[in-house]
Amino acid sequence: MALTGLVTRKDMGWPSTPAPGANTTLGMIAHYDGGKWLTNRRKELKGQGKDEHKACVEYWDRTRDFHKNGNGWLDVGYAYFVCPDDKIFAGREYGHQQAAEAPTPGKLQNGNSRYVAVTFGLGGGEKPTAGALRAWHRLRAWLVEEKGVKTPVYGHRDFTSTDCPGDEVYKLVKDGTLKNGPTKSEPTPSQPKPPTKETGSDMKAEPLYGSFGSSEHGETELLPGEWVRIGFDTEAADPTDVHSGAGVSIVKGGPSLYALEFGGEIVGAPVGTAFDVDAAEFEYDGSVKPAVDRLKESGKTTSAALTDTLTVHHSAVGWVQKGRKLCIRVRSHAPTPVTIKNARVSVAFWQ
């Protein structure tokens, strides 16, 4: 999956980071700024009728300058900055030594060399915007799925004697919001609600995020000409407990609006083989023995010939009706059985 909404170092006019490489795969660390420069600058620009997002670019430049010339660091100390406008600003990035976690006895260790540091740029008492949380979860899904970063999320204070990332952000660390998505107890700032299909329904404004994958032991066999549901045996985020074991469901319960991206590697099929992918709705039927999931509605199909990347992809936006489950299906047109491995799906949904 591509990391969308990324503001690269090149976009900022910065060279590549001089920070040495590091195996930053043990999880993510949330930070804040401690001051309210970003918030105040955004208010100033808004009052002038200018684009508030300009403040985010200025803030990131200022932070790098302070870290280099004030702290004496090689570069900005963080790997990324998730801004209020749903953008992800690149800092040292994944796979490089960080500089923001000073080692402290009695705290967690190796923060700079084994974790990915991400700042919200906030001051004390400030909460992340809905856009910042979307950016965080999108970045997190990409790190977990594409880079193999483990799922734990910590606050800076877990590694260093500090107030960072502030009480408001640290609440989101401890209650699981930064790992699984917004919770009922910690609502995020409101935004326009997505459209609903059912008259009178009051769907939550904030999306939930699910992210599932298949390990090296979770391959799915695809029989010639048959639609096969893809099983996922790993979870990066499962806020509604939709998934267990090697399950096939990615959204259930409903009604839900959703947007998803799926990808997987094909083994055993030559380049040029045709494949179809869709997101289909199923309904549990316990009236028969054994109980079965019955197909209720097929999704819009992505059909493509296999290229030399040997991968299949699918993106979809749709609606899951109440009581149904959403599953990814793949149909192979190879003459013999093939398998799909390293499958990954990320989904945002509103219930």
Tens of pLDDT, residue by residue over 141-159, are: 999 989 999 999 999 999 9
The CATH code belonging to domain 6-180 is: 3.40.80.10
In the three-class reduction of DSSP (H, G, I as helix; E, B as strand; rest coil), residue 92 is classed as coil
CA–CA gap between residue 103 and residue 110 (Å, rounded): 7
* Average pLDDT of the segment spanning 258-268: 89
State the fold for domain 208-350. Answer: Jelly Rolls (2.60.120)
| Strand-pair category, 256-267 with 338-350 | antiparallel
* pTM beyond 0.95: no
Across residues 122-127, what is the average pLDDT? 93
Cα gap 16→91, rounded to integer Å: 9
- The model's confidence at residue 244, banded by pLDDT at 50, 70 and 90, is very low
From CA 304, how far away is CA 310, in angstroms rounded? 11
Query: How is the chain split into domains, by residue range?
Result: 6-180, 208-350
**Residue 71 to residue 253: CA distance in whole angstroms:** 51
- Coil, helix or strand for 296? strand
Residue 5 Cα distances to 87, 135, 139, 313, angstroms: 5, 8, 9, 20
What are 303-350's pLDDT values in tens digits? 888 888 888 988 888 888 888 888 999 999 999 999 998 888 888 878
Residues 55-104 pLDDT 10s: 999 999 999 999 999 889 999 999 999 999 999 999 999 999 999 888 88
d(CA 37, CA 44): 10
Residue 254 confidence (pLDDT): 66
N- to C-terminal Cα distance for the chain? Answer: 24
